[in-house]
Amino acid sequence: MRRLAPIAIALALAISACGGTPTAAHAPPPVPIAAPGAPAASAAASSAPAAATAQPIAPGRGPHVASLPGSAIRFTGGDGSSQQAAIKVVGAKGESDGVAAEYRYLDLVYGPRDRGAWQSLGQSLLEDHGRQLDALEIKRADGRTETVYFDITDYFGKF
């Protein structure tokens, strides 16, 4: 069996770098989000690179958002509905950047957390066939709970 102590220490450090336990009071700050279906700003009017726009992807096939606006962080892989279909976070510089990207992704998909669209019920670190995963359990505004899985292997352990 694999030693989990180094993983637990790294997760504790990552969470403390984000300001503590990821709850509504301590989670990464919300990001302004355009309403779904709103026209994207023209390339000439935006200083963000074209690859950094929110791009919906067909449900069940991949991530619902391809990248974070104004960021080099991208999302690939699955739709996050299971460990096997985890959303891969690519381009995060370290754990604090990566964890913040996970919460921003959820804001883009479910709506702004600070407006009651969803709330965090918990976050767990998992290991699956050599991949490091974050499992974020959330409660949506309609009362449904679900777990969204992120593959954090790309930035896990980087500070």
pLDDT 10s digits, 9-38: 444 444 444 444 444 434 444 444 444 444
Long-range residue pairs from 118-122, CB within 8 A, at least 24 positions apart, any chain: 119/24, 120/22, 120/23, 120/24, 120/27, 121/145
Least confident of 43-47, 76-80, 87-91, 126-130: 43-47
| pLDDT confidence of residue 63 | 80
Which amino acid, residue 41?
A
Structure tokens at 141: 């505004």
Cut 0.85: pTM above it: no
Crossing angle of helices 5-17 and 95-110, rounded to 10°: 70
Token pair belonging to 132: 């490091």
AA letter at 17: A
pLDDT of residue 5: 41
How distant, in Å, are the alpha carbons of 19, 32, 44 from that of 15? 7, 23, 38
Which ranges in the chain belong to alpha helices (H)? Answer: 5-17, 95-110
